Chain A
Amino acid sequence: MIDPELLVFGLLGFLGLVSVVATYLAITEKNLIKAVLYSAIQSTVYAFIYYLLMAPDIVLVYVPVAVGLYPAVILFLIHKTEKEERD
């Protein structure tokens, strides 16, 4: 039987790696809408990480702000400019 604490730490590590991949994709993506979606994936993973780190106060502020309000603001702004990033 695996130690539950080890399982939590393993899950934390895995979620951290997922967030790193999502961040990398968000930075290198040229299509800005897709970049915002990758950024929202990173935020969702972070919300799980905060929950596993036993910080429910941060989760409660992180979920509406980083998953809801912040992508919405960025999408509004992209709608006002261009969808593709140019060199």
Chain B
Amino acid sequence: MNGRIIGIVVIVLFITLFSLVIALGGLGYDLPMERVRLIARTYLSIAYNPFNRNYTVMSPEVVTSIVWDFRGLDTLFETVVFYLAIIGSVVLARGLKSSPPEKKIESYGLSLIVKTVTRITIGMIIAIAASIALHGHLTPGGGFQGGAVAAIAPLLVLVIFSRYYLENLGVKKNVMLAIRSIGLLGIGLTGFSVLLIGLFSGVNAYVFQNQPKPGAPVGLPYKFNGALISGTLWFFNLFEMMAVAAGFTIVFLLLSIPERDVLEQLKEEADKH
């Protein structure tokens, strides 16, 4: 115990002194910097700029503009990496099934007070997730953020009610895989949408294009019925939310299979060979 206290004191002292040196200019320049760097200023000035229609994204949310437009392909591959991670866990848990409930489904889980509070908060969580994702092109947030918040709701049901309750609600592994695939398909289609418009109207267009660019004068409308949707950004956020929320839910459904069921089924499989 004493050793840990000494360790904490030493680390805290070291870091305090080190930050003091840096704050007093030990690196040769002042931190934090006085002004925004050039690349940041460029993004800030063209993210929403109706007077510069050839370069703008028409989204006041600069981070989402960068994530889904300026570096859209990077985000696509991040999504693919996440998809492969989920596919990996699905493959690892192939054929595993949870045993049927031994008692009434309502008798599993925590007390009635916790369950009632959870029933109320789950609606709020879903609403917040939807607002974060669908307003991702207007306010801080976006598809991944909204999806991660939405994934908290099935997690709460899983822990506070039970796995069986969640599956009775229709949140099953295959349903979630289907939602996840729809989300990814949507992201792919949105990425190709402007290219398809360009092909059919006979002008030049690029993959992952959003607004008109020099030499590629087509783009998705940035307004829908008077509301700003910033072209592809709204669709990307919507589909990314579906994919991320369903992906996390699949992992939790697989993790919540009781360990003795897993061991039994693995043993049966080994006996067969």
Tell me the A residues contacting B by CB distance below 8 Å. 13, 16-17, 20-21, 24-25, 28, 56-57, 59-61, 64-65, 68-69, 72-73, 76-77, 79-80
29 inter-chain pairs at a CB distance below 8 angstroms, sorted by A residue, are A16-B19, A17-B12, A17-B15, A20-B12, A21-B8, A24-B4, A24-B8, A28-B4, A28-B7, A56-B140, A56-B141, A57-B63, A57-B64, A57-B141, A57-B145, A59-B140, A61-B144, A61-B145, A64-B148, A64-B149, A69-B248, A72-B159, A73-B252, A76-B252, A76-B255, A76-B256, A77-B255, A79-B259, A80-B259
A-chain residues with CB within 8 Å of residue B259 when the two chains form the complex = 79-80
- Taking a contact as CB atoms closer than 8 A, the residue among A20, A60, A80 that contacts B11 in the complex is A20
Contact, CB under 8 Å: B16 / A60: no
Contact, CB under 8 Å: B19 / A13: yes
The smallest beta-carbon distance between B48 and chain A, in angstroms, is 16
Interface extent on B, as a size class?
20 to 34
Given contacts A28-B4, A64-B149, A65-B148, contact A20 B159 (CB under 8 A): no
Query: CA separation between A21 and B145, bound complex, in Å?
Result: 28
Contact, CB under 8 Å: A69 / B152: yes
Given contacts A57-B142, A80-B259, contact A64 B12 (CB under 8 A): no
Tell me the B residues contacting A by CB distance below 8 Å. 4, 7-8, 11-12, 15-16, 19, 63-64, 132, 140-142, 144-145, 148-149, 151-152, 155, 159, 248, 251-252, 255-256, 259
Contact, CB under 8 Å: B15 / A20: yes
A-chain residues with CB within 8 Å of residue B151 when the two chains form the complex = 64, 69
Chain B contact residues, majority secondary structure: helix
The smallest beta-carbon distance between A9 and chain B, in angstroms, is 8
A-chain residues with CB within 8 Å of residue B16 when the two chains form the complex = 13, 17
A-chain residues with CB within 8 Å of residue B15 when the two chains form the complex = 16-17, 20
Query: CA separation between A16 and B12, bound complex, in Å?
Result: 10
The smallest beta-carbon distance between A17 and chain B, in angstroms, is 6
Contact, CB under 8 Å: B149 / A60: yes
B-chain residues with CB within 8 Å of residue A17 when the two chains form the complex = 12, 15-16
Contact, CB under 8 Å: A60 / B132: yes
The smallest beta-carbon distance between A35 and chain B, in angstroms, is 13
Contact, CB under 8 Å: B142 / A73: no
Query: CA separation between A18 and B77, bound complex, in Å?
Result: 35
Query: CA separation between A64 and B245, bound complex, in Å?
Result: 11
CB nearest neighbor in A for B67: A57
Query: CA separation between A60 and B147, bound complex, in Å?
Result: 11
Query: CA separation between A79 and B251, bound complex, in Å?
Result: 15
